[in-house]
Chains A and B, each alone.
Chain A
Amino acid sequence: MHSIDRRCFLKSISAAAGASVLTVPQSFAATPKARVVVVGGGFGGASAARYLRLLDPGIDVTLIERGKLYTSCPLSNEVVSGERDIRTLQRGYEGLARRGVKVVHAEVTQIDPIKKAVTTGDGIAYSYDALVMAPGVDLDYSAIGGLTEELADTRIPHAWKAGPQTLLLKKQLEAMPDGGRFIIAVPKAPFRCPPGPYERAAQVAMHCLHHGKKKAKILILDSNDTFSKRPLFEQAWKALYGYGPGGMIEWIAGASGGIVESVDAGAMTCQTTFDEHKGDVINVIPPHRAGKIARDIGLATLKGNWCEVKPESMESKAHKDIYVIGDSCVGGELATGNGFPKSAHMANSQAKVVVASLVAKLNGLPPPVPIYTNTCYSVVGHDWGFSVVHLFRVENNQWVYVAKGSGISPVTFGTKEAPKPVPRVYRKMEAEYADGWLRNLMTDAFG
């Protein structure tokens, strides 16, 4: 070892000891110790790319993402209602590039898990030692009669991938007359952001209330029989907008005829199992499945829709050295109904698990103990927010849902026998925290 190398080496060891054994110093970065390719630059993929470089700059990281500007879905319901400028939700990839992530804007069209190479639409191949898949979800338009991708872009937006459709839905809402009807069709679970449709209903109602459309109706046609944070939503809907007969918001469960089977864009109607519903705005959210590229290479081992992974590392059950995170994967305590929610925070948390495990592995260190956390805030009025928190640990290579460290904001105070209302100031503060949370989460992912 040259003396210079030796000095660097000693310095690095002390730096490593001082900071963390898993934070590997830069001086070893001369030749990359491994090449990691990340497919998809949403919350999951961006977080993985950023943390790989933060923890070990000796790893060569390439992020392949088709879009140049990412729009956060979280808080995009506030864009629909006119409460928020969409630009506050947008981030480019410069922050990641500054961290030394090689950002490639292209469509990934092929992956060869045997040769370990990813190919983009322009025919360029990127070989990898480890591949992190974070392509998000695909929406299955064919599941709803009469619905096409083109219709979603023009007449019947889902606005479930934030961007142009979010603005289209906002425009449609603005054009809706007083007395108009706004239909939200919710797909069968699992879908991304379990509380999202119900937050949207509240945001739409708020818009109507503040824009002289007090006679507007928001009709939620649900393919499911219950929903996330339900008591909190119902409480807020009642207090703020009126819920049920005579109120602005109405919810129809799947069992009561909420399942939308087809749409007619000309007549602007939704056909459910029992009825036909006419809307001025129709917001159909099609059923979800793992991103196409993940399904194409056989990662979707659960019913062909979702990618199963190993709890300790998020490595795919189907292919070695491929890790699947974010909305495409399934995990958690499925048997007890406590699966991983498909959320941005969860995708960020999963990315950190993959990175910690990969960095340890690539440096020949023992695997760290993973931990998964999630928080989803919902904002249902100017000064009314609430949240759900999740904690999962791994024991004996199984996910364990930790009920003690999970749960929704309180619905009532006091006792079960003598409940008291939760003071409004609690709801107001939670709406404020939602904004701070998103800013930090976006920075944690995109730099």
Chain B
Amino acid sequence: MTKNLLALALLGLSAAAAARDDIEVLARTCNGCHGVGGVSVGLSMPSIGGLPQKYLKNIMKQWKYDERSAITMNRIVKGLSDDEIDALAAYFAKQRWVPSPQPAAADLLAKGRSAVSENCEDCHGITGSDPDVDAPRINGQWAKYMELELLKYRDGKFKMPHRKMKKSAQDMKSADVPAAARYFGAQDK
């Protein structure tokens, strides 16, 4: 009885809900690399659940149209329609941001904090949880991933269209790169 009612009630949901199922199915293909709900457990793979919708949409489109370099993602998004990308961005933006705070040595954290307060705080907030509209959250993001990303911003061989972030990254002393990444990676809030 309940079973039938449930089915009926669910069937009664709108076409929009049915479309949302398809987005669930599509979003699940991301879990193998980014985790359920976009919460990654792999040190080099970013968590993506809870990132701002605009940011998500923007970078996936940049990858798709070859305006931005990537190692793997550019190939993956080329098979997706713009509508699918928009739906994925909306879907992952609705998930909760779950930081994965990673412990690091105190001196490294102190060094990172001072680099961040000098050069990064304006746009990311002191812990990375209070970003500008066009920036992602990075508190408790995986440090290994962020180091690789900073390398992309710093290395001239990657097309990274955000000029200001690129300049900030290039202005960093190379010893500050792992320190800043570890520092942001250690923040839970």
Cβ of B24 < 8 Å from any Cβ of A? Answer: yes
Binary contact track B14-56/A, C-beta < 8 Å → 1, others 0: 0001101110111011011111100011111100000000000
A 389-447 contacts with B by CB, 8 A: 389, 391, 402, 404-407, 409, 423, 425-426, 429-430, 432-433, 435-441, 443-444
Contact of B148 among A5, A23, A365, A432 (CB under 8 A): A432
Cross-chain contact B28 with A437 (CB below 8 angstroms):
no
In the docked arrangement, what's the CA distance between A349 and B32, Å?
8
Cross-chain contact B45 with A21 (CB below 8 angstroms):
no
Q: How many residues of A contact B (CB 8 A)?
A: 57
List the one stretch of A9-17, A150-158, A196-204 in contact with chain B: A9-17
| A→B interface (CB under 8 Å) | 1, 5, 9, 12-13, 16-17, 20-24, 28, 33, 51, 54, 345, 348-349, 352, 356, 360, 363-366, 368-371, 373, 375, 387, 389, 391, 402, 404-407, 409, 423, 425-426, 429-430, 432-433, 435-441, 443-444
In the docked arrangement, what's the CA distance between A369 and B72, Å?
25
From known contacts A21-B20, A366-B18, A406-B79, infer whether A440 and B35 are also in contact, taking CB-CB under 8 Å.
yes
Contact of A436 among B6, B13, B45 (CB under 8 A): B45
In the docked arrangement, what's the CA distance between A8 and B5, Å?
13
In the docked arrangement, what's the CA distance between A135 and B45, Å?
29
Interface centre among B1, B26, B72 (most CB of A within 10 A): B72
Q: Which residues of A contact B106 (CB under 8 A)?
A: none
Cβ of B105 < 8 Å from any Cβ of A? Answer: no
Closest B residue to A8 by beta carbon equals B2
Cross-chain contact B72 with A389 (CB below 8 angstroms):
yes
Cross-chain contact B2 with A436 (CB below 8 angstroms):
no
Interface SS, A side: helix
Chain B, interface residues (CB within 8 Å), range: 35 or more
In the docked arrangement, what's the CA distance between A391 and B75, Å?
10
| B→A interface (CB under 8 Å) | 1-7, 9-11, 13, 17-18, 20-22, 24-26, 28-29, 31-36, 40-45, 71-72, 75-80, 142, 144-145, 148, 151, 155, 157
Instruction: Give the shortest distance, in Å, between B108 (CB) and chain A (any CB).
Output: 20
| 15 A-B pairs whose Cβ atoms sit less than 8 Å apart in the complex | A13-B9, A352-B25, A363-B7, A371-B26, A373-B29, A375-B33, A375-B76, A389-B72, A402-B79, A423-B157, A425-B157, A435-B42, A435-B44, A436-B40, A443-B35
Contact of B24 among A22, A24, A375, A437 (CB under 8 A): A22
In the docked arrangement, what's the CA distance between A429 and B44, Å?
9
Cross-chain contact B32 with A440 (CB below 8 angstroms):
yes
Cross-chain contact B10 with A365 (CB below 8 angstroms):
yes
